[in-house]
Amino acid sequence: MLRETLETNIKRLVDFLIYSKNFLIRKNPLKSLTNSMVEGLKDFLTMKKKLKMAQYRLNYHRHQLHKMEQLIAENNEHNFLKGKNLNETR
């Protein structure tokens, strides 16, 4: 009786170890951990460059917006945009 329970427990332990080994081979947590650390390090090291690019894009779009507002103000007859005399038809 004791021998049978011991054999079944050893068999269960061996099966568990085989499943664990296959899981580790399939998922490979150490490789995914190193990949995520490398990606995080790359993001951290390129943060300044990304910030500069974002600021450049923001300034470019702000400049384009001001140019569009200026063109609209030049072509519009309303006084609050143009800064000239009141429109006579108003």
pLDDT digits (tens, 9 = 90+) for 18-51: 999 999 999 999 999 999 999 999 999 999 999 9
- Which tens digit of pLDDT belongs to each residue from 43-79? 999 999 999 999 999 999 999 999 998 888 777 666 5
Structural tokens at position 47: 């943060």
Amino acid at 52: K
Buried b (16+ CB within 10 A) or exposed e, 68-86: eeeeeeeeeeeeeeeeeee
Residue with tokens 């080994």: 21
The two three-digit tokens of residue 66, written as one number: 């001001």
Higher pLDDT, 60 or 81: 60
- Angle among Cα 37, 40, 41 to the nearest 5 degrees reads 85
Predicted TM-score (pTM) of this structure: 0.50
